Structure 1
């Protein structure tokens, strides 16, 4: 059996990932501010088990190491063939020019999008360092095309996603390709039809000048469903279709 730790597991892409992984028979531990019933597949069929859930707000970073220690400790009771951490939680706000953003919201965005994944990665590597080399360990960072393309009104989001990509590359170099290495990959899921997209489409153009582009994507069917994006991400991870430290975009990958 494989184990997955998924942040932001209660809605959107995180919920879709959780449901698909459960349906495949994996053990899934969700981390999010609120719990969600992920025990049913998207098609309504019963999944073989329910996700375990830890309530935690990643805006607060001081308890992350203890959280990972608790989760990894619980997993040691059930031998796993592999364990993966999926850093999926993300925060788009504030959507506005940088000079209009307040310091609290910018700090929370930095915590959720970059500092929390950094601390989760560090704690995960440290907590599993003595595990047998026969248990493959992987960290998947859910990034964004905004980490490569600048958007007016998204300065914080773009900067943190670019930082997440570079963090992936750096940790990949640190881990190398030895038997005890933790594999690390960053994956941009494309434009996914989640609550974040609703927030974008409801933003005034003076705060986000490209809002009409995203309205058009919705109107023309140019968005991935969360389930579609989740399936393609899982195909990359489960199929080992990445090299150490890769930064990928599922829109540019052939379907399995």
Structure 2
């Protein structure tokens, strides 16, 4: 049994990935600020429903308060005795926010702080909690942390100083912890992956942004018009194939656009 612990499964890529993994027979736990309407109790237990017979659990936590969220996450790990029976256990740091957008000098300081708390501090604290508990689980097929990064962490965009900084931080966090974990017995494999341009609510926000605040908005409009965006389901299928490929190396900084199509 593969177990996936995923932040941000209430919508977008996180929801699509959770649904895809459930359909493949894995166990999924979502960590969200608000309940997932699609993956909730009624959807997964209804006769003939898409997740009938599968197991989805949810822990409500607010990643904008990362210390509290990490404590709730670690408490869950300590109490979930069934993790001892899992073949493989994977934490996926997926949840993220986009705002504030615009010139750095115009951003509200509290909004900048909140952005970094969700996009960078929370993944670091949850990863740290996962590492503390991981040594207790046999998990013969391995223990992993996968963080959803972005091309914006590797290429600067005017108007995205917070977003680019956080995603670059995710990649560097991955590299640093990979060095700490190494390749020894029981080590946790850690990697980050940019999913490409996925047509989620975040993309709708980008396309509707005043070009003065985000000069590259027109580029994303053209990508949408050209049909060049992944649907969340397409991105989830590609990501799941990579997760199940056995090809993930310690410290990988990957891009779904460079991986084989499924």
- TM-score class, shorter: over 0.9
Listed one character per residue, the Cα deviations across residues 54-80 of structure 1 (whole Å, up to 9, x for unaligned) are: 111101112133212222134323511
1:143 aligns with 2:152: no
How far apart are the structure 2 equivalents of 1:236 and 1:133?
19
How far apart are the structure 2 equivalents of 1:250 and 1:65?
28
Instruction: Confirm or deny: 8 A CA contact 2:29 2:56 kept in the other structure.
Output: yes
Name which of 157, 179, 192 aligns with 1:173: 179
Q: How many residues are matched?
A: 253
How far apart are the structure 2 equivalents of 1:213 and 1:135?
42
Superposition CA RMSD, Å: 1.5
1:228 aligns with 2:230: no
Hey, what does 1:246 align to over in structure 2?
252
How far apart are the structure 1 equivalents of 2:2 and 2:128?
21
Instruction: Confirm or deny: 8 A CA contact 1:31 1:55 kept in the other structure.
Output: yes
How far apart are the structure 2 equivalents of 1:181 and 1:133?
11
Spell out the pairing of 1:18-37 with structure 2 (5 A cutoff): 18-36=18-36, 37=38
Spell out the pairing of 1:79-228 with structure 2 (5 A cutoff): 79-132=85-138, 134=140, 136-228=142-234
Q: Secondary structure at the match of 2:95?
A: coil
How far apart are the structure 1 equivalents of 2:190 and 2:94?
14
Q: Secondary structure at the match of 2:6?
A: strand
Q: Which moved more, 1:95-104 or 1:30-39?
A: 30-39
* Distance apart, 1:50 and its partner CA: 4.4
* Distance apart, 1:212 and its partner CA: 0.7
How far apart are the structure 1 equivalents of 2:254 and 2:191?
8
Q: Which moved more, 1:171-180 or 1:73-82?
A: 73-82
Q: Secondary structure at the match of 1:239?
A: coil
* Distance apart, 1:114 and its partner CA: 0.6
Instruction: Confirm or deny: 8 A CA contact 1:133 1:179 kept in the other structure.
Output: no
TM-score scaled by structure 2?
Answer: 0.92
Hey, what does 2:50 align to over in structure 1?
46
How far apart are the structure 2 equivalents of 1:240 and 1:125?
20
Listed one character per residue, the Cα deviations across residues 102-142 of structure 1 (whole Å, up to 9, x for unaligned) are: 11110111011111000000000102222226251100000
Instruction: Confirm or deny: 8 A CA contact 1:4 1:85 kept in the other structure.
Output: yes
Q: Which moved more, 1:55-64 or 1:242-251?
A: 55-64
Q: Secondary structure at the match of 1:31?
A: strand
TM-score scaled by structure 1?
Answer: 0.95
